[in-house]
């Protein structure tokens, strides 16, 4: 061989040599459920070619996130998977559209990892997914049964997956779990090619602990394009969160199209390109449902309502909102810019009616609304001659109690308008409860005077040690809990707030009480936009997801390996989840604990 031939061969020999060294690394699952790196050659019994293959079946819960709450058996065996050889079977035509949608999402999710790693999918193995579902109604509420069972068995070259659930949403969750029992592996036994593998045998029974497992995204402080909301919903579906709380409006902007009142976006949107049309809303509702998620829209009032409401005088409707953009802002609101609805202007309620009509016809028919209701600033109303004169003419003064009554009257009138329009649109609809933030109006000392516990659900946002939730529960109120010193993901970037790690979010527990519907992580967007929404939200929101689905008694240390794998899974699916540990700690399980 001459020196020219040798020069051509050397790079190939070097590549083979390097590949052999890399391939000599294998992973062994220990009795403690950790995948430990080894230098032994991989084999099919005890050593795995890559960490993801080891993690797939290692430990009781393998790579599943959130971990199942029922019996879980994942046996140590895998078979190759060709995504083109997957067949879905379901008797009848009921639920066909929904099942077709979730089947497509499933195939896309397993393909996303394979595409990133340049898989070879040549295999004649077949996977048959069989559905057994009792109810095909797509209604999704706090009463929806989301339980499922999943059984995987393999005979010769056929793997059968039996999915049983009461509802379509249980089936969706089962399919998500199945996608997490699939991964990409490589190494000598696969001739150095990356291939998809699926667990050959498993039995899982699962149901969520809490009915409300939410994520609030604020799109009023900074506008988020639809694609960013879709990606957020993708992450939620992967983590089995089931409520997208859309904080759509605030004093900074009103980006939500109201067909009957176009002035709201003309005066309230940042630009014509930063508006959510009703078509956008309907699209998001459908996109979310296919991922097992409801959309609860929040129209914050009477506070947090400024820009978008300032056009009243020019249209002969009087002051719809007071103190809009007033300075010095600290005298009129909690956060600039200021703006607080005028509770004595009847036109305010007619505009709210128009807003509610558009939402009722755009959201799911069974859905309720979040009416906001926090941080009302009495200084704003007290600075208005219009309000002060009204109080005087009605035998009232300017005390805290007088302003509380004014606030209570506003809330009662808003609820009445919502009920009227909901009943007109859906004549058989009952008066379902709406949601309010905890505030002065929800103080246990006087909440009974203003808010009926059968009509209002209170979303608390107090610290972990605050006694408010316990007091409200004792009065019979249903709660959604957003613990602000664990689940507020905007914290740590302004003022004296602290950043909460995924372990801190995971550690936060809420009461197991029949009136605690569940909880929400909150992503307020004063300092967040499309360039940072993923990193601020993920993977910490997934830690909240396991807390709300499984409510495990163990601490975050036990969940580390599964959490790191889930973060990688989110990234593979296009979610830009931030890193939470050095790569070394991911590859060397348990060494950084």
- Report whether 347 contacts 333 (CB < 8 A): no
Of residues 138, 250, 546, 560, which has the active-site annotation?
A: 250
Question: What is the model's pTM?
Answer: 0.94
CB 65 within 8 A of CB 565: yes
Tens-digit pLDDT profile for residues 534-568: 999 999 999 999 999 999 998 899 999 999 999 99
Predicted confidence pLDDT, tens digits, the chain (593 residues): 555 554 554 444 444 444 444 456 789 999 999 999 988 766 655 678 899 999 999 999 999 999 999 999 999 999 999 999 999 999 878 899 999 999 999 999 998 888 877 888 778 899 999 999 999 999 999 999 999 999 999 999 999 999 999 999 999 999 999 999 999 987 545 455 789 999 999 999 999 999 999 999 999 999 999 999 999 999 999 999 999 999 999 999 999 999 999 999 999 999 999 999 999 999 999 999 999 999 999 999 999 999 999 999 999 999 999 999 999 999 999 999 999 999 999 999 999 999 999 999 999 999 999 999 999 999 999 999 999 999 999 999 999 999 999 999 999 999 999 999 998 887 666 689 999 999 999 999 999 999 999 999 999 999 999 999 999 999 999 999 999 999 999 999 999 999 999 999 999 999 999 999 999 999 999 999 999 999 999 999 999 999 999 999 988 999 999 999 999 999 999 999 999 999 999 999 999 98
Residue pair 555/507 in contact by the 8 Å Cβ criterion: yes
Q: How many helices (H) and strands (E) does the chain have?
A: 17, 22
Q: Identify whether 124 is a catalytic site residue.
A: no
Name the H helices within 332-462.
346-362, 378-382, 385-393, 400-425
Which of 258, 273, 359, 272 lies closest to 309, judged by CA?
A: 258
Beta bridge partners of 160: 128, 153
Predicted confidence at residue 43, as pLDDT, reads 60
Phi, psi of 137 (to 5 degrees): -70, 135
Would you call 250 a catalytic residue per the annotation?
yes
DSSP letter assigned to residue 336: S
Label residues 498-530 b or e (16+ Cβ within 10 Å = b): eebebbbbbebebeeeebbbbbbbbbbbeebee
Catalytic entry in 304, 377, 491, 566: 304
Residue 425: per-residue pLDDT: 81
Whether the link from the prior residue into 389 is cis, omega within 30° of 0, is: no
Distance (Å, whole) CA 35 – CA 57: 10
Cβ neighbours of residue 18 under 8 Å, at least 6 residues apart? none
The predicted pLDDT at position 5 comes to 52
Structure confidence by residue, pLDDT tens digits, 164-182: 999 999 999 999 999 999 9
Percent of the chain whose pLDDT exceeds 90: 86
Q: CA–CA separation, 255 vs 268, rounded Å?
A: 6
Given 375, 419, 485, 526, the catalytic residue: 375
- What local confidence, expressed as pLDDT, does residue 99 receive? 97
Q: In angstroms, rounded to a whole number, what is the distance separating the alpha carbons of residues 349 and 421?
A: 12
């Amino acid at each position: 061989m001459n020196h020219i031939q040798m020069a051509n061969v050397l790079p190939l020999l070097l590549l083979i040599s390097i590949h052999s060294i890399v391939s000599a690394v294998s992973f062994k699952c220990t009795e403690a459920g950790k995948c430990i790196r080894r230098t032994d050659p991989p084999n099919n019994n005890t050593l795995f070619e890559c960490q993801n293959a080891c993690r797939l079946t290692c430990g009781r819960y393998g790579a599943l996130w959130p971990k199942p709450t029922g019996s879980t058996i994942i046996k140590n065996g895998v078979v190759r998977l060709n995504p083109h050889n997957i067949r879905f079977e379901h008797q009848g035509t009921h639920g066909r559209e929904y099942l077709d949608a979730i089947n497509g999402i499933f195939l896309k999710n397993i393909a996303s990892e394979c595409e990133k790693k340049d898989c070879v999918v040549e295999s004649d193995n077949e996977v048959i997914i069989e559905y057994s579902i009792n109810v095909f109604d797509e209604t999704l509420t706090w009463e929806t049964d989301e339980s499922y069972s999943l059984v995987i068995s393999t005979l010769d070259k056929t793997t059968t997956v039996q999915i049983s659930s009461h509802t379509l949403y249980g089936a969706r969750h089962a399919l998500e779990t199945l996608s997490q029992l699939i991964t990409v592996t490589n190494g000598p036994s696969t001739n150095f090619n990356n291939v998809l593998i699926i667990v050959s045998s498993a039995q899982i029974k699962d149901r969520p602990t809490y009915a409300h497992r939410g994520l609030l995204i604020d799109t009023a402080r900074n506008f988020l394009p639809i694609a960013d909301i879709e990606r957020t919903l993708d992450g939620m579906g992967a983590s089995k969160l089931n409520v997208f709380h859309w904080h759509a409006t605030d004093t900074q902007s009103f980006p939500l199209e109201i067909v009957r009142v176009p002035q709201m976006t003309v005066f309230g949107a940042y630009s014509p390109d930063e508006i959510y049309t009703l078509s956008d809303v309907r699209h998001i509702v459908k996109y979310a449902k296919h991922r097992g998620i409801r959309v609860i829209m929040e129209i914050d009032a009477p506070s947090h309502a400024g820009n978008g409401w300032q056009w009243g005088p020019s249209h002969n409707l009087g002051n719809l909102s007071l103190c809009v953009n007033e300075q010095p802002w600290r005298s009129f609101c909690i956060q600039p810019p200021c703006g607080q609805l005028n509770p004595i202007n009847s036109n305010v309620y007619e505009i709210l009616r128009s807003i509610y009509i558009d939402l009722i016809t755009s959201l799911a028919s069974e859905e309720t609304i979040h009416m906001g209701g926090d941080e009302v600033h009495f200084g704003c109303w007290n600075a208005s001659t219009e309000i002060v004169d009204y109080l005087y003419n009605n035998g009232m003064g300017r005390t805290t109690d007088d302003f509380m009554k004014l606030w209570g009257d506003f809330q009662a009138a808003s609820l009445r308008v919502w009920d009227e329009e909901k009943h007109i649109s859906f004549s058989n609809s009952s008066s379902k409860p709406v949601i309010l933030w905890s505030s002065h109006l929800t103080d246990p000392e006087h909440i009974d005077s203003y808010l009926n516990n059968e009509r209002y659900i209170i979303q608390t946002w107090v610290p972990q040690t605050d006694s408010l939730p316990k007091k409200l529960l004792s009065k019979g109120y249903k709660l959604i809990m957003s613990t602000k010193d664990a689940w507020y993901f905007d914290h740590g970037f302004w003022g004296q707030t602290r950043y909460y790690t995924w372990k801190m979010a995971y550690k936060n527990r809420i009461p197991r009480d029949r009136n605690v519907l569940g909880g929400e992580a909150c992503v307020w967007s004063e300092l967040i936009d499309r360039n940072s929404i993923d990193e601020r939200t993920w993977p910490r929101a997934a830690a909240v997801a396991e807390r709300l689905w499984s409510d495990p008694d163990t601490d975050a240390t036990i969940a580390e390996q599964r959490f790191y794998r889930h973060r990688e899974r989110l990234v593979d699916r296009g979610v830009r989840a931030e890193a939470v540990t050095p790569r070394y700690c991911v590859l060397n399980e348990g060494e950084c604990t």
